[in-house]
Amino acid sequence: MLDFKKIIAEKLHEEVPELEVDQFLSLIEIPPDSKMGDYAFPTFSLAKIKRKSPQMIAEEIKESLGDLESFEKIEVVGSYLNFFVDRKALAELMLGQVKEEKEEFGRTNYGENRPVVVEYSSPNIAKPFHIGHIRTTVIGDSLKRIYEFLGYDVTSINHLGDYGTQFGMMIEAYKLWGNREVIESNPIPELVKLYVRINQEAEEKPELLDNSREWFRKLEEKDEEAVALWKWFREVSLDEFQRVYKLLDIEFDSYRGESYYSDLMPAVVQEMEDKGVLVESDGAKIVDLEEYKLPPSIIVKRDGSTIYLTRDITAAKFRKDTYDFYKNIYVVGSQQNLHFQQLVAILDKMGYEWSKDCIHVPFGMVSLEDGTLSTRRGKVLYLEDVLNRAISQVDEILSKREEELGVVMENRKELAEQVGIGAVKFQELFNQRIKDYVFDWEKTLSFEGETGPYVQYTHARINSLLAKGNFQLDNKVNPALLTNEEEIRLLQLLYGFADIIVDAHLKNEPYFITRYIVEAAKTFNKFYNATTILTEEEELTNTRLLLCYGVKNMIKRGLDLLGIQAPEKM
């Protein structure tokens, strides 16, 4: 397709062959204000080559470029060359693409089927699935969707925390005080109670810890009773997790958790021995990471048991062998930065050049307005409760609307779910990952401003407009009729959509897309309020409707890449 930026870069390269087209491409900017053009090229970097002032260079290049096809004009402002895309060329290009690509608008094959692993959510068994987990779960799911849309071959993994010495404690506690029926009636909170109790009582009775260690040893040796109990803890926990994933409309290709790697670990430890990566320290086996300016990591504890990091090394190798990944992405909070730095360093030290393809995608913390995470169910706010509350609050809003408007929404229940869950996800994906944020009910569920419901509502509004105008894809249109400010802005947004998806995946930042579709929704609403779309002139109406259709597909796709549904009617 017509690539305006590339046209500029190629022309500039003809003018100044000392720089390659790619170099020009990376120097060309998108000005913050469209009055400064659609693209700008700062000439500073040419001063050395040309031995002239940047302003003079800008003037000279403008002179010799003359009229550039597909561009309306070129202006010099200070040391910048500002390029203005020809509006008609833009409209022709975008309307053509909207018509051709339809619901697939924006799709590219950037990924060329390269395999990518995205790991996210990964909660710990027998521990609450709480509001803190929303971040990894929702960011990870969005990244999975983005990579898929770009044509990568994605495998999503839930690296369940289902192994470790704490399961010895769980078994000991269950044997002492547990009751099967009680646990089955309310698994995670009851298991957490047992875990809390054994930790407390062990302070006075250290023999509980000895017994726990013994149980873990038995588990590692595949003792029947130990394995059966562990399996049961895992099952009942997973049932609860899956209920929440269903609510969130999130799926995984694999639930291979930490336990899966326990059998594969001895071979990896052996390999580390053979490669001379391990050293003895105080009876434990560690890796010295001084050359990476990192603290040493324990791989095998003094009592012979392995740890979280050992399982991650094993899992990374397993993923490379199984998926031959181009990228192996870990969506895990920034508290684990050091852990992942150590993991990558160790893989590098083991001689794996693919260690650089293991990428930690960290994020900040979520807190509640009152600064805590407390709730009626104990010390944590369960994610499931948050989601259900969002749904029921939206349901209330909708039922008020029904009353006010005197209508009945036949799909109200479904709608409340789509909007409630969408709102929570949207708020989650609105900011740069690394920023901490405060979960704010009012803001999240508002139908005004930069929220999920607002964007969903805009999408539904376009949809009903298309129906009202009896939009048909093959109606006759005339791109030259799109001339007002909002129309041009919408065309520009359509033009930039495919690129923003690429950028979002290069930085692993779904919020690029969130912001983009908010802007599209705002611009559309401005357009809707300022312009009569369904006019008396058929060709003009059809042209505007085709633009609306493109914007609708873009917003719908954007929402989908965030994991948010786009109801047709609201």
Binding site for ligand ARG (CB under 6 A): 119, 122-124, 159, 161, 312, 330, 332
Say which residue the tokens 């094959």 belong to: 109
**One of 11, 133, 327, 505 is an active-site residue; which one?**
133
Q: How far is the CB of 315 from ligand ARG (least distance, A)?
A: 6
Which of 319, 459 has the CB closer to ligand ARG? 319
Nearest to 397 by CA among 460, 464, 442, 458: 442
Does the annotation count 133 as an active-site position?
yes
The one-character DSSP state at 123 is P
Residue 495 and residue 94 in contact, taking contact as beta carbons nearer than 8 Å? yes
Q: How far is the CB of 201 from ligand ARG (least distance, A)?
A: 25
Say which residue the tokens 């990192």 belong to: 294
Does the annotation count 130 as an active-site position?
yes
Give φ, ψ of 368 to 5 degrees.
Answer: -100, 165
CA distance 480 to 540: 10
**One of 5, 99, 127, 218 is an active-site residue; which one?**
127
CA distance 311 to 29: 45
Task: Count CB-CB contacts under 10 A for residue 77.
Answer: 14
First CA to last CA distance, the chain: 35
Which of 128, 550 has the CB closer to ligand ARG? 128
CA distance 363 to 133: 11
Which of 25, 294 has the CB closer to ligand ARG? 294
State both tokens at 303: 């009592």
Minimal CB distance residue for ligand ARG: 161
Nearest to 150 by CA among 106, 117, 119: 106
Task: Count CB-CB contacts under 10 A for residue 475.
Answer: 16
Q: How far is the CB of 159 from ligand ARG (least distance, A)?
A: 4
Which of 130, 285 has the CB closer to ligand ARG? 130
Neighbouring-strand partners of residue 154: 116
Neighbouring-strand partners of residue 434: none
CA distance 476 to 90: 18
Q: How far is the CB of 263 from ligand ARG (least distance, A)?
A: 18
Which of 257, 469 has the CB closer to ligand ARG? 257
Say which residue the tokens 């419901």 belong to: 453
Q: How far is the CB of 108 from ligand ARG (least distance, A)?
A: 30
**One of 11, 130, 327, 425 is an active-site residue; which one?**
130
Which of 195, 527 has the CB closer to ligand ARG? 195
Which of 132, 296 has the CB closer to ligand ARG? 132
State both tokens at 208: 């509980």
State both tokens at 517: 């579709």
CA distance 120 to 157: 7
Does the annotation count 468 as an active-site position?
no
Q: How far is the CB of 144 from ligand ARG (least distance, A)?
A: 15
* Cα 222–chain centre separation: 38
Residue 526 and residue 567 in contact, taking contact as beta carbons nearer than 8 Å? no
The one-character DSSP state at 477 is -
Which of 122, 463 has the CB closer to ligand ARG? 122
Q: How far is the CB of 378 from ligand ARG (least distance, A)?
A: 18
Say which residue the tokens 């309306």 belong to: 72
Q: How far is the CB of 215 from ligand ARG (least distance, A)?
A: 21
Task: Count CB-CB contacts under 10 A for residue 496.
Answer: 16
Which of the residues are catalytic?
127, 130, 133
